[in-house]
Structure 1
Amino acid sequence: MAAIRCFKAFRPRPDICDRVAALPYDVYSRKEACEEVRREPMSFLKVDRAETSFDDSVDTYAPEVYKKAGDLLHEMMEDGTYIEEEKPVYYIYELIMDGRHQTGLVACASIDDYVNGVIKKHENTREDKEQDRIRHVEACGAQTGPIFLAYRSIDIVNQIIDRVKTGEKLYGFTSPDGITHNVWIIDEADDIQIIQEAFAGINEIYIADGHHRSASAVKAGLHMREQHPDYTGEEEFNYFLSVLFPHDQLMILPYNRVVNDLNGMTDDEFLKKLEDKFEVKACDAAVSPGKKGSFGMYMDGRWYQLTVKDGVVPEDVVGCLDVSVLQENVLAPMLGIGDPRTDKRIQFVGGIRGLSELERLVDGGKKVAFSMYPTSITELFDIADAGKLMPPKSTWFEPKLRSGIFIHKINE
């Protein structure tokens, strides 16, 4: 059973929420983060990426950077930027992109559910990235960026959310990237109880996006348990900030690949090798794959469609992913990219950037790009249920949840 509970958020004043709300910390380089904070001094990015308060001589991971994050958050709580909810509640967070609505429940998930496997993972995490966010959470005494969770749709929860959405919004704004953000509050005791009981009846919740943030939140919570051996399990540090979305509202975009060189082969040699595993067809226009087992490829100013041949794709849930098929049949054996996590010859391009970005990179000096058919939410669930992991960069979720709208304090 899943423990999904309401909480007393710190949240921005309604008149400035649009200025405070920020994209997740990890979508920016340091330079981009500094530029964004200069553009909007109230952006929560100044807390999530507190190195923006220092010049380049100060390391991103220096102790004073984390201290600054905590100081800035405390100032925002003291100066009226943030207000504290009077009682524990749930929130509804709707994002609208290109006319498509995606509505989630803002709540706190249990670190025990994470440890025990009720909350399921599909990616590995890196220790250095975990340590960064652990230090940030501990310096702030709060979780500032929600984890993107998914669950199989629950009718009674949908009914409550749909009804509350007919009422007055808590927030409503459109961010500079054109995404509309709407927030409502669920504060009726009966609704809260029904939602809690509905989630208590399920055993599977999935991390869609935010594996490092969730791992960090859990480890920070476990560390606080060590510091408080008399903990009861009800303390806020036993829970982490999340937004939970029903599976039928989520869209996964492709995560495309670009490679620097052909591993010593000529174009013709590479095309000939591809024919061992794929039907290769030259195309006059950019190729956005329309089905599983199909790939677009851009090389030397020309697009190709690659269709995997019969007998190439294995039966297992990970091996049959298109990202696995490309890795095991092209990237590793042909192009010599054995570990895409560490190989500097490959880069990954989120599908939100479009096929024109692949053309730009290849025309600008890269050698070959592959456009992918997106991984499905069902594939993500199946792999997590099997206790297996996806290859790196298998999914790209859009739109991104904003940080700074909901703050979950854990040190009270």
Structure 2
Amino acid sequence: MKIFILLFALVLSSVSYAKSERFVIKSAIIDESPTIQVSLPDTYSLSNSSSYPVLVVLDGSTQFQHIAAGNQFLSTYAIAPEMIVVSVSTLKRMLYFTPTEHEQFAGRSGKAHLFKDFLNKELLPKLQEKYRVAPYYMITGHSLAGLFTSYLALEKSSLFNAHISISPSFWWDDKALVKHYAGMKRDHLTSPKRWFLSIANEPGEMSESYQAMLEALEANKIDNLHWFSKSFPEDTHDSTPLVGNATALKTIFNDWNAVPEIDVMPLKELRQYYKSIVADYDYEFKLSLHQYNVYGLKAAYEGKTNWGVEILEQGVKDFPKSEILWDSLATAYELDDKINQALSASKLALELAQRNDSIFTSEITSQNKYLNSINASK
């Protein structure tokens, strides 16, 4: 029953209202001026100081929407961090997504190093200039773009921390990237990188070259490379990005959620937990609005109301304009038999909801009426 109540309460924060923006980069590195589309987290405007990791989506014209929506859903329940999701596409995929020049495609392939430089020197600095970007970068690609993200995973000069390669084209140029990996030295990478690879129901050179890469990964262990492989036999090459990217986010961040089950922690232990995984990610994640909401409500509903109150009180300090956190804090106060504080928090939640024309106004109004009825009956 408690789990049902908790899930119902979390529904308040599960609806996305993220802001999307577009701009053009006139590149001096690649022979294109890509249109960049950015989906900001739905909590971005609720704080002036919180920064967010970046997830770059290649072939964004077809892959951006479902990946952005998937991240927003998973982050709502603290399964993955909230991210600034960025779409970028190139018309010259063979040229810029292939790390070697194939003799059959001379002059039309082998310029992945230029696209890497475009990302490192033009796209990421532009994002840092325009948005509150945290120094944790992810990139996802499918097919030839998956070959490119695989290439980046093995490049120590790449700025990306985590990589998603959905049905990567390892067959390219007689499995050139597989052979390149097989010859790498154990100490090639100087900082941690996470790499998710997947394959669908794809016979022939796709599956054969994918298996060759897995065998190379097993045979040659590289320090600091944390790789994960999944198979989706019920999907095709074209359908697999939908399930593949959602699974990739859950897999790469499989140990990121401090309390994935019904267990709870006080605020101090939550902070210690995220310090303890810095070595794995090469980054210390700060608690997001959704994490404060999830962890605080979990603690309150599991009988640790003092923990829940403490977590949510810190949450409204970091995100003072969030009607959701103030409403959840009112719930925690009421469960902790602090009705006057609950009413104060609920009143502020309602004021914020009405001021911002929040889609949660009716739920927040209901809680406010309920708390007033309890107070009147005393």
Which TM-score band applies after superposition, normalised by the shorter structure?
under 0.3
TM (normalized to structure 2)?
A: 0.27
Give the number of the structure with larger relative contact order, counting CA–CA contacts within 8 Å between residues 6 or more apart: 1
Query: Which protein is richer in helix relative to its size?
Result: 2
Query: Which protein is richer in strand relative to its size?
Result: 1
